[in-house]
Amino acid sequence: MNREILQFKTEFFKALAHPMRIRILELLSEGNKNVNELQAILGSEGSTVSQQLAILRSKNVVYGIKDGTSVIYSLRDPLIKDLLVVAKAIFDNHLVDTISLLEDMRNENTRKEG
Task: Tell me the per-residue pLDDT of 80-99, one tens digit each, with 9 for 90 and over.
Answer: 999 999 999 998 888 877 88
Q: Give yes or no for a contact between 52 and 86, defined as CB atoms under 8 angstroms apart.
A: no
Domain containing 57 equals 1-77
Q: What is the pLDDT of residues 38-69, one digit of tens each?
A: 999 999 987 999 999 999 999 999 999 999 99
- Do 91 and 69 share a domain, yes or no? no
Q: Give yes or no for a contact between 91 and 100, defined as CB atoms under 8 angstroms apart.
A: no
- Do 57 and 99 share a domain, yes or no? no
CA distance 77 to 90: 21
Beta bridge partners of 34: 72
Question: Is 0.85 topped by the overall pTM?
Answer: no
CATH of the domain at 61: 1.10.10.10
**What is the CA 108 to chain-centroid distance, rounded?**
37
Q: Give yes or no for a contact between 56 and 62, defined as CB atoms under 8 angstroms apart.
A: yes
